Amino acid sequence: MTHRAASDTSRITHADTPVTQDHGQTQMIGSAFDKEGDDDVIVKNEPSPRPKDAATLILVRRDGAKPRVLMGKRSGGHVFMPDKYVFPGGRVDPDDGRAVSWCELKPDVEAKLRSNARRQPRAFALTAIRETFEETGLLVARPAEMPVTAPRGWARFHELDAAPHLSPLTFIGRAITPPYRPRRFDARFFMAEADEALIDERPPVDGAELSDLQWVTLADAGDLDLPSVTRFMLAEIDARLKTKDYKEGPPYLRWTRTGHSTERL
């Protein structure tokens, strides 16, 4: 389990916990963590697995009356969060950090990601982009003449002459799955404006990992069957979209010896 020095974080109090919209009414989020009995599998007869690095991308469209985000439904056969609606994302692969890109992360985003990380910051952003393509068919990229050879998992990008576009990604949160789950992840959440990030206007396509892909308003997303951490991040997006020059650091959700902890990086 990674830890963050107290001098570099600020604890989120009840007063500044993000809020979410429910049919026009502002409500506080009770907890960012799923409880036992929230349809999650709890395993207590064996050691808790070490969290695996993961990354998620939240694409935002502003071409309608209200901002919309892309979400899809996980397969019921998944051990981790079956039948839940989530954002595209997945586990970091060893070669992700080696992928060729059109540009790099913004310096402030890179600095936040570097804290208490075993990998280079760009690896997380590249994972989010790769997983988004694999799960939705959408390319967060720019046209480019790509090398003939590609790291494992990136051959399709090279075949399409598409270079991952990192600079539009903003780091908005980090969450570590609590202990006693059969799958645990140390996930970094990114947000990007679809108009700036995507290579074209192609529609998302359902696949084996995610189905019922749709662009939904934040209010409509709140009515879906969501993991608590996804609901928490929706509220973080809501705050960022409503506040110009948002200054709050990304929330960091994790388990400590005293229980659940939510701080800002």
Predicted TM-score (pTM) of this structure: 0.83
**What is the rounded average pLDDT of the residues 233-261?**
90
Instruction: Decide if 265 contacts 8 (C-beta within 8 A).
Output: yes
Q: Give the confidence band of 167 by pLDDT, cuts at 50, 70, 90.
A: very high
Place of tokens 């990304």: 250
Residue 156's pLDDT band (cuts 50, 70, 90): very high
Class of domain 38-264: alpha beta
Contact by Cβ (8 Å): 197, 168 = yes
Cα separation of 67 and 218, whole Å?
A: 7
- Specify the higher pLDDT residue, 61 or 16: 61
What's the count of helices (H) and strands (E) in the chain, helices before strands? 6, 14
Q: How confident is the model at residue 2 (pLDDT cuts 50, 70, 90)?
A: very low
Q: Where are the domains of the chain?
A: 38-264
